[in-house]
Amino acid sequence: MSSSETATLPYLIIGAGLAGLSCAVRLHENGFPVQVLEKSDGVGGRVRTDQKNGFLLDRGFQVYLDAYPEAGEFLDLEALDLQPFEPGALVWRKGKLREVMDVFRHPSALFSSALQPIGSPIDKLLVAKLRFRLLRKPMEEIWATPEQTTADYLRDFGFSESMIDLFFRGFYGGIFLEDLLVTSSRMFEFTFKMFAEGRATLPARGMQRIPEQLAARLPKGAVETGREITSLESRQVSGNGFHHSGRGVILATDGSSTSALLDRDGSVRWNSTACLYFSTDSPPLARPIIALKGDREGLVNNVSVPTAVSSQYGDKPLVSVSVLGDQRETPDLEEAVRAELRSWFGPSVDHWTHEETYHVRKALPTKTSGHLKPVEKTPEGIYVCGDANTSGSIEGAILSGLRTADHILEESHADPG
């Protein structure tokens, strides 16, 4: 095929998660044809929402942090109609739900909060110091700072074990989907900064509105679902019974699929979670706030009521309960969760109706080492993007997709053929 023929072909983007869609939108909006090939039945990858019994059920509890710089610039946040959680949290500790005020933006509130008997006055000053430091630390510097585990980072910063156990394990357990806090300190600094600068939100009509908004910026037919790619080269891809040629190939799959398709050695590690949804007539939390565990024992990591954040999540109260780890083998997970939550919220838990349980084994790439490599091109000339190359987050996926597209645009200006 001549280079002028190749130039009219679309870029082939494998995977319609946030990275693939962002890359496709950026290329399309700069005049390049794109074809997105997605193996599942819809767009969004790990950001999907189901409609069931009148409820919107996100496939795993997740939030959009409205301080994300790259995503915030690229998405139409107004159209997403972001609904905020209250800053702060309720922490389940010693038989009581205790309110912890906005630790990230107003550390001084800790002085009057229920953490008083646990976090020492020094812990509270340290939160203020950390906030001051990270608000001023540029993002690029965060990703270049020598790293350690988050637990070691917090200890080295001077936090007491009780502050780490009471607050950081529950809060960051829900973010990292692991509560040993072995995740890289770079991921900790990144998320702490985002919480200090903004709020945790849900799009009013569910998390999947984010990828749907991106897909709507592409021409009709640019995304084909039900297309699993099984082999690829720098300018062509194929699957069962189909074959596409393109101007270039961008692999925007999750880390495990990327490794398998590129025949790379070594398994990709994942942090897993399960999310259980219940409906009820009397919500356990009447406010848009997240309740966290503050004890090390127990299955439940966090609880929230999405309908208290946005009424469009359901006509009656919906409760979301997150458990860390791969729980597919846990016998009677639903009953185990109910039994635990009975102590948090009382016997009304027995009247909750179970709506759905999502087991998300491949939720977040394990980031014991945090690096930022948004643009990758293999020696064979295949571009690779996705959250495995950045941070396991909406911001990381979008950043990676956009930087990859920008790189391709630069290359095509340098060599228009």
Residues that bind ligand FAD (CB under 6 A): 14-20, 37-40, 45-47, 60, 62-63, 228-229, 252-254, 257, 273, 360, 363-364, 386-387, 392-397
Residue whose entry in the numeric block shows the structure tokens 């009057």: 112
150 and 187 in contact (C-beta within 8 Å)? yes
Write down the least CB distance from residue 392 to ligand FAD, Å.
5
Q: Tell me the C-alpha distance between 298 and 323, whole Å.
A: 9
Could you tell me which of 358, 362, 286 has the C-alpha nearest to residue 322? 358
Q: Tell me the C-alpha distance between 24 and 11, whole Å.
A: 8
359 and 306 in contact (C-beta within 8 Å)? no
Write down the least CB distance from residue 354 to ligand FAD, Å.
18
Write down the least CB distance from residue 116 to ligand FAD, Å.
29
Q: Tell me the C-alpha distance between 89 and 213, whole Å.
A: 30
Cα within 13 Å of Cα(146), Cβ side: 1
Could you tell me the sign of the dihedral formed by the alpha carbons of 326, 171, 47, 189, in that order? negative
Write down the least CB distance from residue 197 to ligand FAD, Å.
14
- Which CB atom, from 2 or from 240, has the smaller least distance to ligand FAD? 240
- Which CB atom, from 390 or from 412, has the smaller least distance to ligand FAD? 390
Q: Tell me the C-alpha distance between 92 and 344, whole Å.
A: 7
- Which CB atom, from 59 or from 338, has the smaller least distance to ligand FAD? 59
Angle between helices 18-28 and 394-414 (to 10 degrees): 30
Residues belonging to the chain: 417
How far is C-alpha 205 from the chain's CA centre? 17
Name the helix (H) or strand (E) containing 406: helix 394-414
- Which CB atom, from 96 or from 328, has the smaller least distance to ligand FAD? 328
Write down the least CB distance from residue 249 to ligand FAD, Å.
11
Strand-pairing partners, residue 364, are 271
Could you tell me which of 271, 302, 264, 228 has the C-alpha nearest to residue 393? 271
Write down the least CB distance from residue 260 to ligand FAD, Å.
8
- Which CB atom, from 119 or from 211, has the smaller least distance to ligand FAD? 211
- Which CB atom, from 113 or from 192, has the smaller least distance to ligand FAD? 192
Write down the least CB distance from residue 31 to ligand FAD, Å.
23
Write down the least CB distance from residue 194 to ligand FAD, Å.
9
27-37 burial: b if 16+ Cβ within 10 Å, else e:
bbeeebebbbb
- 3-class secondary-structure state, position 113: coil
- Which CB atom, from 60 or from 173, has the smaller least distance to ligand FAD? 60
162 and 119 in contact (C-beta within 8 Å)? yes
Write down the least CB distance from residue 398 to ligand FAD, Å.
8
- Which CB atom, from 13 or from 110, has the smaller least distance to ligand FAD? 13
- 3-class secondary-structure state, position 388: helix
- Which CB atom, from 306 or from 396, has the smaller least distance to ligand FAD? 396
